[in-house]
Amino acid sequence: MIVVTSQLAIPEQELRFRASRSSGPGGQNVNKVNTRVTLHFDVRHSPSLTPGQKSLIGRKLKTRINKEGVLYLHAQRAASQAMNRADLVEKFCHLLHEALAPRKIRKETRVSQRSIEKRLDQKKQRGRVKQLRHRSIRVED
């Protein structure tokens, strides 16, 4: 059981892992050993998620979910498959936790009087600089 939040735990049977060859440097080990791990999680058909959670995850992680509603994640940082798998589960939990976190409501604030005055002073200073550029200097021969 993978605990994502205090209200959500996903059984490992819902996650599918696939190993493949990793890319990048590593010499012969990269060419022989399947250390890259890919996680597949069917968001759309998951019995662990409520319809509200499914739509929220679908909206917030839409770049990581394909048309069939399957979430894909990859890990290939470590040299061993077991370490990549553990890293991937942690990454998966973090992503779902962030996606299901309630959005902070913005507290409206007013612009301070000092910041308004400072901005106007900067505008006046800039205007003076431009005014100096416009004055033509007549040179008489």
In a domain, 40, yes or no: yes
In a domain, 134, yes or no: no
pLDDT tens digit sequence for 74-98: 888 777 778 888 888 888 888 888 8
Q: How many domains in the chain?
A: 1
Q: Which of 21, 19, 38 is nearest to 30 (CA)?
A: 21
Across 58-62, 87-91, 123-127, the highest mean pLDDT is recorded for 123-127
Average the pLDDT over each of 26-30, 81-85, 90-94, 131-135 and give the range with the smallest value. 26-30
In a domain, 41, yes or no: yes
In a domain, 111, yes or no: no
Residue type, 71: L
In a domain, 125, yes or no: no
Q: 63 is in which domain, residue-wise?
A: 2-100
In a domain, 81, yes or no: yes
In a domain, 124, yes or no: no
Contacts of residue 32, Cβ cutoff 8 Å, sequence gap at least 6: none
Pair of tokens at residue 119: 């901005």
Q: What pLDDT, on a 0 to 100 scale, did the predictor assign at position 126?
A: 94
CATH number at residue 26: 3.30.160.20
Q: What pLDDT, on a 0 to 100 scale, did the predictor assign at position 104?
A: 86
pTM of structure:
0.63
If pLDDT is split at 50, 70 and 90, which confidence band does 44 have? confident
> What percent of the chain is modeled with pLDDT above 70?
86
In a domain, 141, yes or no: no
